[in-house]
Amino acid sequence: MNILVLDTIHGGGEIARHLISSGHTADTVDIYRHAQGIDQAQALARTYDCIVAPVHTDPDHPLLQRPGIPRITHHEAVGRILGRNAPRPMVEITGARGKTTTATALASLFEGPGVLHTSQGTVDYPDRVLLWKRSIAPASVIDAAARARARNGWLIAEESLGVSGAGTLGVLTAGEDYPVAAGKKRALAEKKRLLTRCATVVAAPGIAPWADCVIRADEVAACAGGTCRYARDGIEGSFTNPLLHLDGYRTPLVTAAAAACCCGIDPAPLAGFRALEGRMSTHRIGDALLVDNANSGTNTATAVDAARYARLLAPGRGIVLVIGLEAATVCEGFPEEAMEEAIGRIGPVSVVLVGVTGAVGERLAAAGIPWEHCWTLQEARDRACARAGRESIVLSVKTWR
């Protein structure tokens, strides 16, 4: 076949290379930067048997307006490239949030050799050796799958905006929706459409089934307090984990437990699952407990959640709060009023401000709350550790790590 692949920024070039190695001919068009492949005019003048474009491409793009030429997404192209050579088992995970945590929790339950591919990197299991760090665009799954096949192992892959359908199990981690493709498509509808290409799909709690292959996670596993109970196909039991008290972990752990049951695996070992670095992970610094919530998604809600978690793990201790924004490392800010709301709701014994924090320090002084200022997370962490004593430390700095 003669195939046109759009968008080299989001993996189009890699898809084209694999199509060519499979015996097809392929052209690419860099529809954003116009720096690679052929230009639009050349593509319009040529004849193709198929056009491959990402889910998020504007459907009214001139290259997608050619009548009579079948169109498929990058996800679907990856599914065809993998075909019968996809590793087994293969779990594909997508959703607006919770993908990385769900994938990592599920991988912790799988035995033998395998590969975990997430936004944090592609990792060999069981030794947990980092292979590389790439995007979670569908094209990135191809090399992860090849690595898993070479080891005769499993693959768990986090993917953005859908799945390839090559997996034995698909997982939808969240039901949030938003517009894509120049506002002409809905992200959730595309994810659901692509997921139904998998033999079985697990949908996170609260998401209604949309096809016969979909299983609701909350019909397999349910959480009450810090305990999750599960039952399916002869696998029955429970596990307790303090992370289940946190909104950011409850749904991913319940979803991972349900997915494990669907794979014939008892999820009881999730009792020992630890928070991901920078996402409510905990450490002991001398006599102090440190809860690390410093990441690119830090906001008022996660800061308050981190403080609540610290009080759950170390009752009766005050909190030294490190809060702010490493401005050079993230695109979205942490507004001054949002920081103040978090401080007010947490009630720390002292505060270390990071980055540009406006007049927050002045208002802390007026309220009689001890505070100091640093420009980096590392410096602020060191200051907090030096002053904490037996108090708990909560890091809630918006930063990219």
Instruction: Render pLDDT for 373-392 as a digit per residue (tens, 0 to 9).
Output: 999 999 999 999 998 999 99
- Angle of the 99-107 helix axis to the 247-262 helix axis, nearest 10: 50
Q: What is the pLDDT of residue 160?
A: 95
Instruction: Render pLDDT for 163-181 as a digit per residue (tens, 0 to 9).
Output: 999 999 999 999 999 999 9
Instruction: Render pLDDT for 41-93 as a digit per residue (tens, 0 to 9).
Output: 999 999 999 999 999 999 999 999 999 999 999 999 999 999 989 999 999 99
Closest by Cα among 196, 354, 15 to 4: 15
> How large is the average pLDDT for residues 241-253?
94
Residue 328 clears pLDDT 70, i.e. is over it = no
Q: Considering the entire predicted model, what is its pTM?
A: 0.87
Closest by Cα among 267, 281, 274, 157 to 223: 267
Phi, psi for residue 149 in degrees, rounded to 5: -60, -40
Closest by Cα among 127, 128, 125 to 115: 125
Percent of the chain with pLDDT over 90: 90
Average pLDDT, the chain: 95
Q: If pLDDT is split at 50, 70 and 90, which confidence band does 97 have?
A: confident
57: helix, coil or strand?
Answer: coil
Residue 332 clears pLDDT 70, i.e. is over it = no
Tokens representing 206 are 């609260």
Residue 210 clears pLDDT 60, i.e. is over it = yes
The residue written with tokens 């980055």 in the block is 355
